[in-house]
Chain A
Amino acid sequence: MAEFLNIVAIGLLLGGIYSLVSVGLNLIFGVIRIVNFAQGEFVMLGMYGAFAAQVAMGMDPYIAPVVVAPALFALGCVVYWILLRPLQGEPMMQVFATFGLLMVLENVVLALTRGVSLSVNSAAAQISMSLGPVQMPLARILVLVAATVVAGALGWWLRVTLPGKAIRAVAQDRKAARLMGINVERMYMVSFGVGAALAGLAGCLLAPLYSMSPQIGMNFIMPAFAVVVLGGLGSVAGAYVGGFIVGLTEALAGFYLDPALKHAVLFLVFIAVLIIRPAGLFGVAGAEEVGLREQS
């Protein structure tokens, strides 16, 4: 029983990582209907941002989001305006553009670091807490807490605030939103910027857990796609809950079956959920088609 509890705890903590990485990805998909392949690279940039903040200013990676998240927000806005806005109405081209962006970002960082893996340090990353038989690293608990706060805050912001309502209106019907006086282009840009900023936040909080490499973003993005599809495309709650489903599935399959089989099991669950509920657990049926329908 103790062993089982330990594995469940590990699965939940891993779920926190996936949730945090996926929330921004799902926001971008939910509003702009772009499958952003470069989202993992934004996480990677967040990690390197935490490293740069530590080297340049001695900043702890848990404080670094104060600098890194706004920087990623600005980068997201610029990327949207320069790269994606001209391709509006061409969803496939936008997907390819994000893939191109992925390659550019990865290779630029590769050129700058020459492939040397880097690490950031924080006193919090050295602490592991015991709760009976369950061992939980503090750094992962902090990620879980951050994922919960971010999902809650983002949900609140989208529901209650005026910009949030505007974003939801644009997501539901671009044409009607424009007729209501909403600046659709600006809302798209803000959404992409917020999605990138959330990835930057995730990168800072994950930096003490990993040795950074320019390719690390790719490691996050594949499970993150599984999370958003499982949870429901465009749903903040879906990304949050989907993260835990993926984390628990991986931990249980990795421990009780074989770590080499955990991704096979995860994608079996993924296929099963899609067969039973094509829109994902929290998704709206048909939402995934909106991006393919022409909107003016």
Chain B
Amino acid sequence: MTLTRRQFGALATGAALMAGSRSSFAQGAPIKIGAVNPYSGAMAQYGDEVTRCYELAAEWANAQGGLLGRQVQIVRGNATSAQEGIGAVEQLVGRDKVDILAGTYVTAISNAASESALNYGKLYWETNALARDLTDRGLPNFVRTGPSSNEFASRAVEGAIKVVGAKLNKQPKDLKVWIEHEDSAYGTSIALEQQRLFKAAGVTVGIGSHSAKAIDVTDSILRAKNFAPDVWISTAYVVDTNLLLRAARDQGFKPAAMMSCGVGDTKETLEAIGKDYLDGILLVSYPRPDVSEKYGPGAGVFLRLYRDKLGRDPVAPQGMNAFVGMKILFEAIKAAGSVEFEKVIKAAAAMDKPLGAYETGYGVKFDDKMQNTRALPVVAQWQGGAVKAVYPTEAASEGVSVINVPRA
């Protein structure tokens, strides 16, 4: 078969058009962010919540025209353990061709997944995992936008000294604090940092540990009771936190203030303990959507976006922290003009936003290990069956103040 000049011209034009359309399609391909989180198993509830809020942030960005002229797409990678974290990264990079990885609800998963991401030359944008070690590794592809375990520890100490101390009219040297913690690395690392900070402030400190799998923790409560503290602070998981609070109630242990660090702020604890006993219990928690607009501008908008999409209130405060982490990533990508990890990290390192720039009240200023130094948890409190931010004072909504300290 021979082609006439006209047929050849038509074919050449068609081919050129097709090539052009392919090129413009590539230009418009979405920026894919792989969300490494547990979506099954015991941690699924929170893993899901974190990723739902990544998706919410992506929809918010897309509604504003996307990033670098491209839409943002969140691709889920299920990881319930460190080993699965590595597998999830391999799948997200190899099969789904993601540009960036983000996560997680769990330190161990973040640890393994971020190293795996480095092997593929991908950025690992951490929003929620807590352990300080994650940034202390100095991994070149790793950034954390949310607070680390150290910030949770320091906020608990601040809450005990400034909130409870003020209510009891006691100086730090007159305060007695009992630190209770579950005995894995999570609880121990936060408790030891709290102990260090309290001692530096001149507070008298007692410390005790228990297994998160213990059938009974009454012995731990009685040891704390014998110490007669003004403040009892616990760092544990949900199930043992509930067990500790039950044992405290049963044994009539009533320090002036009780504080739970990291957990104890969800419906699970409310249903287990009941609102009457919880009233006045302090919580060191991620900033929640109830923070004042002055402290966290846009927190109300976040809550509306969440409710519009999901038809209910957020399951846990981890969500808004994840949402803000994703927004900071989008800003870094915009500033970098690229998704390459060296460029995004360089752009992130140059960011300088004051506290109160985001819904959570965070600012942005990364230290040399790429830990955001302007991401701080708040002290909240159970009040009438709801959790309300009470410290810093400017985080508290209008009309909200500390109640039931000392405990009735």
Contact = CB atoms under 8 A, between A and B. Distances in A.
Interface string B353-376: 000000000000000000000000
Interface string A207-235: 00111011110111001000000000000
B216 interface: yes
Given A115-B41, A219-B213, A254-B220, A210 B250 contact: no
Contacts of A3: 222, 226
Interface in A138-176: none
B246 interface: yes
Contact of B214 (A10, A119, A218, A259): A259
Interface size class of B (residues with CB under 8 A): 35 or more
Contacts of B250: 128, 135, 137
A47 B294 CA distance: 45
B215 A223 contact: yes
Nearest to B277: A126
Given A117-B238, A117-B242, A259 B209 contact: yes
Interface string A180-223: 00000000000000000000000000000111011110111001
Interface in B215-269: 215-220, 222-223, 226, 238-239, 242-243, 246, 249-252, 268
Contact of B272 (A211, A216, A258): A211
A262 interface: yes
Given A10-B218, A259-B220, A263-B211, A115 B43 contact: yes
A116 interface: yes
Interface string B102-146: 000000000000000000000000000000000000000000000
Contacts of B252: 128, 135
A10 B239 CA distance: 20
Contacts of B272: 117, 119, 211
Interface in A237-280: 250-251, 254-255, 258-260, 262-263
A111 interface: yes
B215 A135 contact: no
A214 B216 CA distance: 18
B44 interface: yes
Residue picked from B213, B218, B223, B251, most chain A C-beta under 10 Å:
B218
Interface string A1-17: 00100110010001001
B45 A213 contact: no
Interface of A: 3, 6-7, 10, 14, 17-18, 110-111, 114-119, 121, 126, 128, 135, 137, 209-211, 213-216, 218-220, 223, 250-251, 254-255, 258-260, 262-263
Interface of B: 40-45, 48, 183, 208-211, 213-220, 222-223, 226, 238-239, 242-243, 246, 249-252, 268, 271-272, 274
